[in-house]
Structure formats: structure tokens, C-alpha cells
Amino acid sequence: MYWKQIHAAWFGIHFFLLTAVCFAGVFWLIAQGSTILSSAFDEYARRAELVATWCLGKEARASNPLRRGIATYLHAAGIQAGYSFFAPNVPSQHRLTFELFYDDGRIEYESPRMRSKAAALRLESLLDRLPEERYDSVREALVKMLAFSVWRKYPDVKKLRATLDSVHAPGITEFEQGKTETFQPMFSFDFSLRDEQKQ
Amino acid sequence: MLKLPGSQINAGVSLAQKWWQSFCCFLFPPETDTWLAVLRIGLGMHVIVYALFLRSDWHYLFASSGKGLVGREVGEAITSFDSPLIPTLGWLVAIGRNFNISEEAVLSIAWICLLSAGCLLLLGLFCRPAAIVAWFVHLCAAESGGLLAYGADSFMTTALFYLLLSPLPDHYSFDHWVAKTKPKNPRALGFWRRVIQVQLCFVYFIGGLAKCLGNGWWDGSNLWRALIRPPFTVVPPDILVRFKYALPVLGIAICLLEVSYPVFIWMKKTRLIWLVCIVAMHAAIGLLMGLYLFALVMIVMNIAAFGVISNTATPQSATETDAQ
């Protein structure tokens, strides 16, 4: 009997949440100063982002039932992230290289690999997330696990050094001048079977 | 206390009623289920392709620490910080453990369930249960591998979420032939199509707006960087550089196409042009960047939402079904 009202109410709530998610993402980009807008907008964008995240319950305690309920719904509907792919600019690519040190002094180089291209895309997605600030707390653990996945293939390795580089691709003009990509090391970790050391 | 004259209250009420009626007209247009058949078949294909693409790496991606690439525990811990109620593959593994089923076996069963659900959706057999299983298993995989997920996963979850809520089965499905199901309420069909249409308007408007805010989309440098960025490199840069004058035009065209989508896709005169351009853009993304899954799900959603010509049910039949 009330199916229209119920559907309309769901429609309103659903798209209200989606609006908040999308604009939180856009305001975050502006607040980061990564857009063509003047830095005068940064502070307003930060405030607007706060309003949007407040609507999503993200300002409440992590154990707040409303916050959890909204987060569960957003994930279930696949609308937890905004749609600013490759925006405002295409992000830099990242490369993870492992130096494998053997007992006899040999050094080999290896990268984490997947069998299929579809899975390789996912690995790239993970590598691009590693330098992000929000993954600071899990970065070392993630790199350690990636290192362990390589280690399983080379059990004779004594020590392993993981280095994440930011890859700077040449622009069109630079490419025409014969320039190739350059690598900027971002961080590296040393791992051994018994202990691991951060550099 | 402020008292309003009766005529003003009546005018307010009638205005609200008019607004509600026009909102209902927009939200519940009578529709046939052809668009739903397109969405079901398209998503069935998509789920099958997704499962087959990840076949060889499925265990490696989603196994626990020490067995897989990074172990799904990290992704699941990040997800559970958002909410512990979000389903993950860890749930299925825990259930399997109670029945003495190994983690490997559970992951294999999950993969088989996903592939089977895709096949059933394609055929239109057990449409609703198949849609629920496909959505649930994919959601578990996407959340467990959250750090490994990308845009295609979100769109796949969203599309399957809308599919499972839509009035299935459609009359092109085996379910309809076998069980002779009653025709669905045309206004409910119209509502769910409207939801997908509005969702796509959000996707493109926000995507276009965010791109417009980046200088690299106006001079073509972002398009260049996107196309030469491994693992998206399908066209060698030597060939791409020959089209360097076209890149700024294409970059601006993408921004304008996306940001104006919510306007021109609704106009009858421009709908076909915008739809063809958007589908062409996704086809190009799929072919030139190797993002086949992303391209497929976006093309399916666009065609289901705006591509299927609406054989609008007569208002009379719609009213009759409403009354039922």
C-alpha cells in the first residue's frame, strides 16, 4: 500500500548518502590543493568536506551504531568511494623492487608478480596505495607480506631489500626528445629471516 | 502562536501534493522489463568474465597471510574498522572451519558459486537467488581484497545490488518460461531503471567535475599519462605520440562529455549522441588501457539505463497493476 512512499524514502536516503560521498571526495581533492583552484578555496573545501563526512557519520566514534550502519550500507551498495578516477590528474605510478641477497654474495632483482593481467591490475592498485598517508600504519606490514610472497619462491635468500619507487613518466615533448621514465625512491625496508629493520 | 489563514494552508497542501505527484511521475514511470533483461544478461556475462579472469590468481589473492600475496587479513582489518558488519571472505572461511572445510576448499567453493551465479544470471535461471549469491560473493571478495580493488569492483557491487533489488525475473528469462511468473508492476520496473539512471548521472557528473579541476585534462597530458602508464600500456607510446594534437581535444571532450551527461542524456534529441559517445569512451578505455571489466560493467549499465528503447506500458495497464 505504501510501497511508493517506501521506495521514494529509500531513493532519497540512498542518493543523499551518495551525494555526501561524492562531494566529500571532491572537497578532499580541493582541500589537498591538487586542483587548478586557488589555495584560497582550500580552507572552505576542508570545512565542506567535514560537513559531508559528518553526514556519513564519520565524525562519530568508530563504535557508533549509526556510523557502522551507514558504512555497512555504503559498502553493500558499492558507493563507499567517490567517482574521481584519474582525477584531478592521473596519479604517478609506483614500482616495488626486491633486492635478493644470497649467502655467496650474489644479488638478484625481483618484483611481485601475478599470473593474469586482471590480477596484475590489482597489484598495481595496491602499489599505488602504499605511499598514501592513510596506509602509514600498515605499510611496513604490507611490504613485509609482499616480500614474504617473493621469499617463498627463493628460500635460499639470506636478506631482502624492498624499495618503492615513484615512476615519473616523460611528457609528450620529453618523450619526443628521447627521455625515458625516471625513478624516485620513496622508501625501502630491509628484511631478514630472523629480524627486520626499517631504513 | 502564529495562525495561518485556511486558504494559505490549502494552497500549501495542494502545492505539496502537486510536487509529490510530479516527483512520483519522475520516479515511477511505467516500464517494460527489457532493460532488466539487458542488465541481467550483461551482469551475468560480467560475473563470468570476472571469475574466469581471476581463476589462476584467485587463491593467491585471497588466501590468508603466508599463503597468498599479502594475505586477506589486512584488507579485512581495514574493512572491519569501517564496520564489522561488512561481509568478507573471512566469514565464509570461519563458517567452513566449523564444518572442517579447509580455507582452500572454501575459496574454491566461493569461486565456483560466483561462476555458477554468473551462468545462472546469463540464462535467467533462479534469477533472484543467483543475483544475491553473485552480489554477496563478489562483495566478500572485494572487501577482503580491499587494497587490491579498483573502480570496476565498486561498479560491479552497485550493479549487482540494484539487480538483486529489481523486480526479477524478466520475461526473457528461463524462470519466466518455466514458472510462468506474473508480469511485474511496470512502475516498480520504472523505479529501478530510474535509480540506475540517476546513479549514472552522479558517476559522470562527479567524475567530469573532478577531471575539470585538473589542468592535465585541458592540455591532453593526463590522457597521455593514462595511456602510457603500465599496466595500461596497450598502445606503444611511439604510435601514440603521432596523435599528440588530438590528445588535448580528446581530454577536453571527455571532461565535457562527463560533466554534461546529467543534462543531455535526458533530452530525447541528444540522448543517442551522448550514449554512443559514452559507450565509445568506455570501449576505448577497455581496448586502449586493458580495463576490460571496468569497460564492460559501464557499458552494460549505460545500455540498460538509457540504451533500451522504453516500450512504455500504457498508463491504464500500469494503474491496473498498481491496484493489484
Q: How many CB atoms lie within 10 A of CB B165?
A: 18
Q: Directed axis angle between helix B127-144 and helix B103-123, to 10°? A: 140
| Residue B183 forms contact with A (CB below 8 Å) | no
Percentage helix, strand, coil for chain A under 3-state DSSP, each rounded to 5: 45, 20, 35
**Is residue A198 scored above 70 in pLDDT?**
no
Best to test chain B binding among A1, A2, A4 (most B CBs inside 10 Å): A4
Helices (H) and strands (E) in chain B, counts: 17, 0
A92-147 pLDDT per residue, tens: 888 999 999 988 889 999 888 888 888 888 888 888 888 888 888 888 888 888 88
- Residue stretches of chain B with pLDDT short of 50: 313-324
- How far apart (Å, rounded) are the C-alpha atoms in residues B19 and B83? 37
Q: Which residues contact A137 (CB under 8 A, 6 or more apart)?
A: none
Q: What is the pLDDT of residue A1?
A: 60
**Residues B140/B91, Cβ–Cβ less than 8 Å:** yes
pLDDT for residue A90 is more than 90: no
The β-bridge partners of A95 are A165
**H-helix or E-strand spanning residue A198:** strand A196-198
DSSP, residue by residue, B169-199: PPTTSHHHHHH-PPPPPHHHHHHHHHHHHHH
pLDDT over 60 at A196, yes or no: no
For position B2, what pLDDT does the model report? 56
Say yes or no: A37 contacts chain B, CB-CB below 8 A. yes
CA within 13 Å, CB half, A52: 21
Q: How far is B134 from chain A (nearest CA, A)?
A: 12
Set of cell numbers at residue B275: 550514449
The set of residues, in sequence order, having a beta carbon less than 8 Å from that of B31 and lying 6+ positions away, is B186, B187, B189, B190, B193, B310, B312, B313
Smallest Cβ–Cβ distance between B148 and the set A3, A93, A126 belongs to A126
Show Cβ contacts of residue B144 under 8 Å, excluding neighbours closer than 6 positions: B62, B72, B75, B76, B79, B88, B89, B90
Using alpha carbons only, give the angle B248, B197, B53 rounded to the nearest 5 degrees: 70
Residues of B (20-39) whose Cβ lies below 8 Å from A: 23-24, 27-28
Please tell me the pTM assigned to this model.
Answer: 0.91
**Cell of residue B284, nine digits:** 576505448
The pLDDT of residue B324? 38
Residue A187 has pLDDT above 70, yes or no: yes
For residue A145, give how far its alpha carbon lies from the nearest alpha carbon of chain B (Å). Answer: 5
| Cell numbers for A85 | 578516477
Q: What is the pLDDT of residue B149?
A: 86
Specify the pairing of strand A182-192 against strand A196-198.
antiparallel
Asked if A98 contacts A188 with a C-beta cutoff of 8 angstroms, the reply is no
Residue A146 and residue A137: Cα distance in Å, rounded? 16
Out of A36, A72, A119, the one facing B85 most closely (by C-beta) is A72
Please report residues of A whose CB lies closer than 8 A to that of B262.
none
Q: Strand, helix or coil at A36?
A: coil
Predicted pLDDT of residue B33: 92
What is the pLDDT at residue B131? 97
Which phi and psi angles does A189 have, rounded to 5°? -130, 140
Which alpha helices (H) appear in B28-150, and where do they start and end? Answer: 34-53, 58-62, 72-82, 89-98, 103-123, 127-144
The Cα A72–Cα A78 span in angstroms is 10
In what helix (H) or strand (E) does residue B19 lie, and over which residues does it extend?
A: helix B6-27
The CA distance from A123 to A110, in Å, is: 15
Assess B62–A contact: CB distance below 8 Å, yes or no: no
Q: What is the pLDDT of residue B172?
A: 92
A25 Cβ under 8 Å from any chain B Cβ: yes
B228 vs A: CB within 8 A: yes
Average pLDDT score over residue span A57-75? 93
Q: pLDDT tens-digit profile of A148-181?
A: 888 888 888 888 999 999 988 888 989 988 888 8
> Are A93 and B229 an interchain contact pair (Cβ–Cβ within 8 Å)?
yes
